[in-house]
Amino acid sequence: MHILLAEDNPINQQVVRRMLGRMDHSVHVVTNGREAVEEAERSTYDVILMDMMMPEMDGMQAASTIREAGNTVHMVALTANATSRDRSMCMASGMNDFLSKPFSLDQLRAVLERVPDRGLHAIDPSVLHVFLSSIGDDPAFLRELFQDFFADAHSCLSETHAALASGDGPAVRRAMHTLKANSAIFGADTMAELCGRLEHLAEENDLDAISRDMPTFEEALDLVSRDIKSLMSRYTQDKSRGAVSRVHSGDTHQVLPG
């Protein structure tokens, strides 16, 4: 996951960064609530770990501001105050979870394991239903379309990395625009929204923000690719057992991985 850590204590920053690194998560660190709000608006994160006591703007104020902006990112409060009243106040500010300091690697892992699996929502069943109904019962054609999607997606990824390296914002914008449109066709709404965000950042030539978002972008692409591959496999193999009709009825839990 790509994680934003809002923490003003340098020692705590180092410790939490090391823990997250051991779990193979990427992390970006800010030192106060105001910076957390700005970073949450500028870039896309799977989780925000938010210290409650920070200068300029505390964690609860930052969480409330992020929620008021319509951001649904998963937020975890980090605090040395572990009373039920403190927990209630954190939840009321918009936090999703609560972690008392000091905490162990296992405790942090347990909190992160409670973050909803974005993979369950990589493909929107309603959009997929309309798409499958439109193209008809043709597995060969569907396979060809998905193969083209994979090829175009990885081409866009390569072009984006090259453009970031050369400072070519317009090239990033073109790549994200193409992938946004392709993702929307298959109901990959989260992927399409992320591409739209990166396209907007490219228009503003904010290549640093795009670079920070690339781990999230690549993870989202992996999730979409996984779901599409699983869908194609089961669409073909289980066709005679009614799996396709379950997709058409919107029940992708029988077709996509859980």
**Predicted local confidence at residue 218, as pLDDT:** 85
Tokens 């866009």, located at residue: 156
**Eight-state DSSP code of residue 116:** -
More confident residue, 1 or 246: 1
Q: Where in the chain is the domain with CATH 3.40.50.2300?
A: 2-116
**Predicted local confidence at residue 185, as pLDDT:** 84
C-alpha torsion sign, points 47, 51, 57, 60: positive
The 10s digit of each residue's pLDDT in 220-250 is: 887 787 777 666 655 654 454 454 444 443 4
Q: Where in the chain is the domain with CATH 1.20.120.160?
A: 120-254
73, 45 Cβ separation under 8 angstroms: yes
**Predicted local confidence at residue 46, as pLDDT:** 84
Q: Which of 23-32, 58-67, 186-195, 235-244 shows the lowest per-residue confidence on average (mean pLDDT)?
A: 235-244
Give percent of the chain above pLDDT 70: 83
Encoded amino acid at 164, one letter: L
Distance of CA 18 to the CA centre of its chain: 21
**Predicted local confidence at residue 98, as pLDDT:** 87
What integer is the mean pLDDT of 157-162?
Answer: 94
- Top mean-pLDDT range of 38-42, 75-79, 215-219: 75-79
The pLDDT-based confidence of 161 (bands split at 50, 70, 90) is: very high
Class of domain 2-116 as given by CATH: alpha beta
Q: Name the CATH superfamily for 120-254.
A: HPT domain (1.20.120.160)
| Helix, strand, or coil (residue 26) | strand
Q: Give CA–CA dist 174/149, Å, rounded.
A: 16
What CA–CA distances, in Å, run from 164 to 172, 177, 181, 214? 7, 15, 21, 10
The 10s digit of each residue's pLDDT in 17-26 is: 999 999 988 8
Mean pLDDT, rounded, of the chain: 82
**Predicted local confidence at residue 241, as pLDDT:** 46
**Predicted local confidence at residue 143, as pLDDT:** 79
Is the pTM here over 0.85, yes or no?
Answer: no
Q: Give CA–CA dist 147/198, Å, rounded.
A: 24
What CA–CA distances, in Å, run from 112 to 67, 75, 120, 170, 180? 20, 10, 16, 36, 28
Q: Give CA–CA dist 70/66, Å, rounded.
A: 7
